[in-house]
A and B are shown apart, each in its own frame.
Chain A
Amino acid sequence: DAGITQSPRHKVTETGTPVTLRCHQTENHRYMYWYRQDPGHGLRLIHYSYGVKDTDKGEVSDGYSVSRSKTEDFLLTLESATSSQTSVYFCAISDASGRDEQFFGPGTRLTVL
């Protein structure tokens, strides 16, 4: 399995609080992605990164920010969590070309009360 870890794996928080999810890889892959998965929606891309300090928005980026200060870590921040952000969040990585397979992490289940 690709070396991808996500932390925390589960989190319960309250509306209005900031939350940061971490994705860590040991594969030295250039591309990293954050997706969310909700019932009836499949996976939707939030943000992605194509290198250190290089990030771009996906299809559902409102309410989220990301940072990538080093190759191995990609952080997803909810500045002020809302109940609509209750979801399972998956991180993924792919190699330098960005065209080949993406390897997914185990996911983080976030509940916003």
Chain B
Amino acid sequence: DAKTTQPTSMDCAEGRAANLPCNHSTISGNEYVYWYRQIHSQGPQYIIHGLKNNETNEMASLIITEDRKSSTLILPHATLRDTAVYYCIVSPNQGGKLIFGQGTELSVKP
């Protein structure tokens, strides 16, 4: 079973920041937090991952709480092309096996 809890769906206005929360209260010390997204009918796309420090790349920022029990993915300026299902995954650093949950369906609206 997935070790994360995410809202089923969220809306965001185009141009605004999208903040996607994820709870992972049972995360272990060696587990990373990964975020992927899946645009309809395509293969999932990696976004970002982190262990305990906040991370930023060209796509998004990942904020992990100090106790590591939750995190937030931030898309700073959402566009219509960011409409997708976003998956938060926790995984140990052993072979990269990922367990996907249901994810959050993000709809970016004009």
Q: Which residues of A contact B (CB under 8 A)?
A: 31, 33, 35, 40, 42-45, 48, 50, 56, 58-59, 90, 92, 94, 97-107
Contact = CB atoms under 8 A, between A and B. Distances in A.
B96 A31 contact: yes
Nearest to A88: B41
A48 B87 contact: no
Given A42-B100, A42-B102, A45-B98, A104 B93 contact: no
3 closest A-B pairs (Cβ-Cβ)? A104-B43, A101-B46, A98-B96
14 contacts: A31-B95, A33-B97, A42-B100, A43-B44, A50-B95, A56-B95, A59-B99, A90-B43, A98-B95, A100-B49, A102-B36, A102-B46, A106-B43, A107-B41
B21 interface: no
Contacts of B44: 43, 90, 92, 102, 104
Contacts, number: 60
Contacts of B36: 102
Contacts of B2: 42
Contact of A42 (B41, B43, B95, B101): B101
Contacts of A31: 95-96
B46 A103 contact: yes
Main secondary structure of the interface of B (DSSP, over half): loop
Give chain B's interface residue range (CB within 8 Å of chain A).
20 to 34
A101 to B, nearest CB: 4
B19 to A, nearest CB: 21
A6 to B, nearest CB: 9
